[in-house]
Amino acid sequence: MADNKSMVDIEKEDVGASVAQYENAPITDAEKAVRWKQDKRIVPLSAGIYFLCYLDRSNIGNAKIMNATTGDDLMTQTGMTNYQYTISLMIFLVAYGLFEVPSNILLKKLRPSRWIAFLMFSWGALTIGLGGVHTYASVTVVRFLLGVFEAGLFPGLVYYLTFWYKTEERSIRVAFILASATLAGAFGGAIAYGIGHMNRAGGLSAWRWLFIIEGIPSCLSAFLVWFLLPDYPEDAKWLTTQERDLAVQRLHIEGSKGHHKSMTWEDAKATLVDWRLWGHYIVYFGISTPFSSLSLFTPSITAGLGYQDLRAQLMTVPPYAIAYVVSILTSWSADHFNARGLHSAALATIGAIGFLASAVLPADAYAPRYGCLIVAASGAFACIPPLLGWLSSNIFSTASVGLAIALNIGLGGAPGQIVGVWIYKADEAKRGYPTGHWTNAALLFLVAVGCVGLRLYYAARNRRILSVGGEEMRLFKY
């Protein structure tokens, strides 16, 4: 952690107004009107972007089992073994981890709308390209490139929200964006079910059509994002002059202003050695393994519950649909009660219980284990948005917030997701994937303990800050 003097400087952060009064001031009707206008423009568009991103990154799980009984699946037609398939999943995540930090830096330098549009077009084109692969090597190369261009999107969107919203307003909006991944999972299963009936249409296997059809919307939407995604409040022509001034003024203490200087080495160094942030990274590692494994192996898990081929695709819909609702409700409650850490701990515990029950139930207890899958998915997905809102709320240096978010997802998320691709072993399908379930249960319990530990740490730090006194002290959020 930075020395005491530097931390006090950050916590005091002289902004020419009383921080305590600012944070406790009720929101005015004018602010609510501006915020709602921002919401209508930013949140649906951001959620749609992430929906397409998640659809294009996770559809390989559907392609793996699509029309497998007739030999028209990805595995058979590319000659991949299960080990090679896992490598192709992992190589995506290696690229994903390496390119998150530079992508967030470029997002600020090149403007969000331009950079995100470029990323969208690139990953859409690569997804279409997956429809033409014939070998393990080509699958692996394209998946690596897909990871390069998808890497910057989610940390970029979380960072982007700091340009527009106060800390207590972000978790619910992150939830709507992240929850679009659960919608993509639900729709992805339904879409795969429909496309599965196109097998051999036009001489192409259905899994090839899956990649082609799901890649096209990303390419086309990139042009809309270039023109419609607003960059910064200072430049928002769709706001009146008064609304624009208010949007900027309400973030005069927090948030990463669009016209502020880029991050310096001193900012980066302070962020890298702030050891409390590494507690967040460890917690995010724990949640990323279940997130990754469910994203990629839910079709395989449902196939192991007595469902075959296209019906297995269809049965992936309910777990994702229920997880979407739980994620939104959890994030609203976490923001409303200013208790992000405890909400994440509670949902992680619920998810852990779901995985634990799946691990101990008999392999042929299909209905109970399907219910456990729904519980596990709801808990695992729902605890992520409050975690991200909690992290961004407790970074007081506006220049380094983008780096901290990228490090959280790059150092915590990417390694955790890499673990997730290995734990659901194909040779354990008949046994109900015990290794995967036990691992996810243990890591979610780790998440719960880590969240409680960070909550207690922040409470202790706040007591110490209050004992020093002063109007402009910045207190940590819970």
Distance CA 313, CA 36 (A): 37
Backbone φ/ψ region at 306: left (φ over 0), alpha (ψ -120 to 50), beta = left
Q: Which of 84-93, 279-288, 299-308, 345-354 has the lowest mean pLDDT?
A: 299-308
Query: Domains of the chain, with CATH numbers?
Result: 39-246+265-468 (1.20.1250.20)
In the chain, what is the greatest distance between 2 CA atoms, to the nearest angstrom?
Answer: 74
Provide the 10 A C-beta neighbour count for residue 310.
22
Quote the pLDDT of residue 472. Answer: 55
Top mean pLDDT of 210-214, 253-257, 296-300 is at 210-214
Quote the pLDDT of residue 473. Answer: 64
- Please name which of 359, 367, 375, 357 lies closest in space to residue 437, comparing C-alpha atoms: 359
Residue 1 has pLDDT above 70, yes or no: no
3-class SS at 184?
helix
Q: Which of 24-28, 86-90, 101-105, 423-427 has the lowest mean pLDDT?
A: 24-28
The pLDDT tens digits for 122-132 are: 999 999 999 99
Distance CA 358, CA 447 (A): 19
Quote the pLDDT of residue 70. Answer: 86
Quote the pLDDT of residue 409. Answer: 79
Distance CA 314, CA 104 (A): 36
Q: How buried is 56 (Cβ within 10 angstroms: 0-12 exposed, 13-18 middle, 19+ buried)?
A: buried
- Total-model pTM: 0.79
Between 303 and 237, the higher pLDDT residue: 237
Match 């990871």 to its residue by tokens: 147
CA distances from 40 to 46, 157, 218, 407, 449 (A): 11, 16, 21, 29, 37
Between 174 and 233, the higher pLDDT residue: 233
Question: Which runs of consecutive H residues, i.e. helices, occur in 258-339?
Answer: 265-272, 275-303, 309-314, 317-336
Quote the pLDDT of residue 251. Answer: 80
Q: Average of pLDDT values for 330-349?
A: 91
Match 């916590």 to its residue by tokens: 11
Residue 97 has pLDDT above 70, yes or no: yes
Residue 19 has pLDDT above 50, yes or no: no
Mean pLDDT of the chain, nearest integer: 85
Quote the pLDDT of residue 170. Answer: 76
Give residue 163's identity as a one-letter amino acid code. Answer: F
Q: Which of 174-178, 192-196, 351-355, 402-406 has the lowest mean pLDDT?
A: 402-406
Q: Which of 28-37, 407-416, 436-445 has the lowest mean pLDDT?
A: 407-416
pLDDT band at 396 (very low <50, low <70, confident <90, very high): low
Q: Average of pLDDT values for 66-71?
A: 86
Distance CA 329, CA 321 (A): 13
Between 136 and 263, the higher pLDDT residue: 136
Quote the pLDDT of residue 183. Answer: 83
Buried b (16+ CB within 10 A) or exposed e, 389-415: bbbbbbbbbbbbbbbbbbbbbbbbbbb
Residue 9 has pLDDT above 60, yes or no: no
Buried b (16+ CB within 10 A) or exposed e, 185-224: bbbbbbbbbebbebbeeeebbbbbbbbbbbbebbbebbee
Enclosing H/E stretch for 432: none
pLDDT band at 454 (very low <50, low <70, confident <90, very high): very high
Between 290 and 103, the higher pLDDT residue: 290
pLDDT band at 258 (very low <50, low <70, confident <90, very high): low
